[in-house]
Amino acid sequence: MPEMIRNIAIIAHVDHGKTTLVDAMLKQSGIFRENQVITERVMDSNDIEKERGITILAKNLSVHHNGYKINIVDTPGHADFGGEVERVLKMVDSVLLLVDAFDGPMPQTRFVLKKSLDLGIKPIVVINKIDRPGARPDEVVNLVFDLFCELNANEEQLDFPIVYSSAKLGFAKRELSDESSNLEPLFEMIQKRVAPPVVNPDAPFQMLVTSIDYNEYIGRIATGKIFNGRVKAGETIVAIDRQGKQTRGRISKLLGYEGLKQMEMAEASAGDIVTIAGFEEVGIGETLASAADPQPLPYVAIDEPTLSMNFMVSDSPFAGREGKYVTSRNIRDRLMKELRTNVSLRVEDTDNTDTFKVSGRGELHLSILIENMRREGFELSVSKPEVIFREIDGVRCEPMEYLVIDVPEEFQGTVIEKLGTRRAEMVSMQPMDGTNRLEFVIPARGLIGFRTEFLTDTRGTGVMNHTFHEYAPYKGPIVGRKNGVLISMENGETVAYSLFNLQDRGILFVAPGTDVYEGMIVGQHAKENDLVVNACRGKKLTNVRASGSDDAIRLTPPNVLTLEQALEYIDEDELVEVTPKSIRLRKRFLDANDRKRQEKTRK
């Protein structure tokens, strides 16, 4: 019955405990057997989510409690995956807004809360991690209230209920002074304060598709909430796209959620969240409707991408050595497959048949795609990320980010100075227990390459978070990387003797015994210009030995860049070569003469 269904999404900033809270709710709802081995963060299903401890894809599950069926959607907390959150909010009737009792509201908290308030959703605020040292729950409640006011919440939304919890220890309480050993107060709050879905089970069938997946056995599957009517497995229904075009199809599988598992259903009715298979082509935001009376639901618009980069076929001398899929057809097919499920992504063909322009919501969004591709056996080259400019009322505008930095007092001067050169404007500064919270509005261009510099300047003690703010008029040029690079002059294997002599010239990116080729970047030059070096030259051996100079060579360990660091580091005339085993930096033109020619034409 719809009145016994509660549809909720858990939204929060990254690392505020959403997935851990879902774990605790599952354990206390009796989903698992007593002797069952349960992994931590059970909802983080793919390898990258487990490794990084972040949620990338929104996941559905359901729990039964006191006769109620609670459908829960665990959403990503990182700003780059905001597209996942936006479409999920159309499926639910309320949200649990999780806020860390120490950190308070953060950039992504602002973003997801604004989206939910705009849809008229009345959130339940959960102040999580109240067991954390330095927790300040009362102060955080006031900050959350200020945020609601700032985002123009209406009176009903401002009267939000509050639950205090520790997802890790598995308890929740209505008041800080209460005694509690379980999440019962949270379950009661959901049952009492979340409205049942407003639906009509007797009207013609309508379902809004909010996520798409692909199954090798049953093809494309569409997940969403049934807004009206009933539907049966085997029934013929209609898919209506955004232009109003209708496609008939038969439901080959109707799946519902019981705990973490998808179960086959004979029939589903309004208010429930289900998955339907049977259509070859169905997109996010489209409507599945009754064949007898097909009525479309309003289309869900997703915010546009703000960053783009070129994905190219690798033309390096090592192309095809480590990867299984290397041709433009392989790369194109993989990108088209990604478009089916990744709503915030855009892929365009370019003048060059071997190059594709891929646009996304941020560096992390695009780097996760590249990381998935290399794990699947793809080999490709990618260019420096560039922001997407827009013309608004005849003015050239660029994306701005809302940046929040927590930094110890001793480093704040350096951070403010560095951000000043990147065209950042300070919005506020608040002292917090030995650290200061600095808030800025900064061009998205200014953040490219800043994270590594920031961690070095703050000796790893600073924390930075950012989310898309708005498009604003172009702020002027920003100085990029200040140092040049060390470029290999020949193909071969690096030798310790050569690297020892080169380490005075800058910071090395390669260890002895690494295969390199002409035009590959082997390190960062200490000066502003690029320097062509020989990293493969061995020492000529003779019978003469000199005490002192023939001692064992001591090399500084190389600075091996991760994929995100490499994408941030490269300049416009450089590429990152990505293979299943290696991440290499290289010049776009490998031959030194070609580079000189290109430089002259540019001038």
Domain ranges of the chain: 2-193, 206-290, 390-473, 485-602
The candidate with the shortest Cα–Cα distance to 259, out of 95, 1, 33, is 33
Distance CA 188, CA 81 (A): 30
- Tell whether residue 19 is among the known ligand binding residues: yes
- Tell whether residue 93 is among the known ligand binding residues: no
Question: Is 3.90.1150.10 the CATH number for 206-290?
Answer: no
- Tell whether residue 341 is among the known ligand binding residues: no
For the domain spanning 390-473, the CATH number is 3.30.70.240
Q: What is the DSSP pairing of strand 386-387 with strand 307-312? A: antiparallel
Residue stretches of the chain with pLDDT short of 50: 33-46, 49-53, 55-56, 80
Distance CA 58, CA 40 (A): 17
Determine contact, residues 58/22, Cβ cutoff 8 Å: no
Superfamily of domain 2-193: P-loop containing nucleotide triphosphate hydrolases (3.40.50.300)
Tell me the backbone φ, ψ of residue 59, rounded to 5 degrees. Answer: -125, 150
- Tell whether residue 128 is among the known ligand binding residues: yes
Q: Where are the beta strands (DSSP E) in 458-596?
A: 463-473, 485-488, 492-493, 506-508, 515-516, 521-525, 531-533, 574-578, 583-587
- Cα–Cα distances (Å) from 86 to 111, 383, 467, in that order, read 10, 29, 14
- Tell whether residue 15 is among the known ligand binding residues: yes
DSSP-derived letter for residue 520 is B
Q: What is the per-residue pLDDT for 45? A: 43
Distance CA 490, CA 478 (A): 34
Q: What is the per-residue pLDDT for 166? A: 85
Q: Record the pTM.
A: 0.73
Q: What is the per-residue pLDDT for 551? A: 59
Torsion (CA) 596, 597, 598, 600 in degrees, nearest 10: 90
Beta bridge partners of 80: none
- Tell whether residue 20 is among the known ligand binding residues: yes
Structure tokens given for 452: 């590594």
Q: Where are the beta strands (DSSP E) in 28-153?
A: 59-65, 68-74, 94-100, 124-128
Q: What is the per-residue pLDDT for 577? A: 92
Question: Is 2.40.50.250 the CATH number for 485-602?
Answer: yes
C-beta neighbour count of 304 within 10 angstroms: 15
Q: What is the per-residue pLDDT for 35? A: 40
Helix (H, G, I), strand (E, B), or coil: what is residue 566? helix
Determine contact, residues 7/197, Cβ cutoff 8 Å: yes
Q: What is the per-residue pLDDT for 543? A: 64
Angle (CA) 465 390 308, round 5° = 55
Residue appearing with tokens 């949200």: 95
Determine contact, residues 442/464, Cβ cutoff 8 Å: no
* CA atoms within 13 Å, Cβ hemisphere of 56: 20
C-beta neighbour count of 98 within 10 angstroms: 26
Query: What contacts 90, CB < 8 A, 6 or more positions away?
Result: 119, 208, 210, 225, 300
Q: What is the DSSP pairing of strand 94-100 with strand 124-128? A: parallel
Structure tokens given for 307: 């960053």
- Tell whether residue 18 is among the known ligand binding residues: yes
CA 306 to chain centre: 13
Q: What is the per-residue pLDDT for 382? A: 92
- Tell whether residue 192 is among the known ligand binding residues: no
Q: What is the per-residue pLDDT for 38? A: 42
Determine contact, residues 404/106, Cβ cutoff 8 Å: yes
- Tell whether residue 66 is among the known ligand binding residues: no
H/E element, 221: strand 219-228
- By the 10 Å C-beta count (0-12 exposed, 13-18 middle, 19+ buried), 75 is classed as buried
Structure tokens given for 536: 């493969």
Distance CA 168, CA 163 (A): 15
H/E element, 364: helix 363-375
Tell me the backbone φ, ψ of residue 239, rounded to 5 degrees. Answer: -100, 130
- Tell whether residue 7 is among the known ligand binding residues: no
Q: Which amino acid is at 572?
A: E
Distance CA 116, CA 210 (A): 15
Inter-helix orientation angle 184-193/18-28, to 10°: 100
Determine contact, residues 9/225, Cβ cutoff 8 Å: no
Determine contact, residues 268/256, Cβ cutoff 8 Å: yes
157-185 per-position pLDDT tens digit:
888 888 888 888 888 888 888 887 888 88
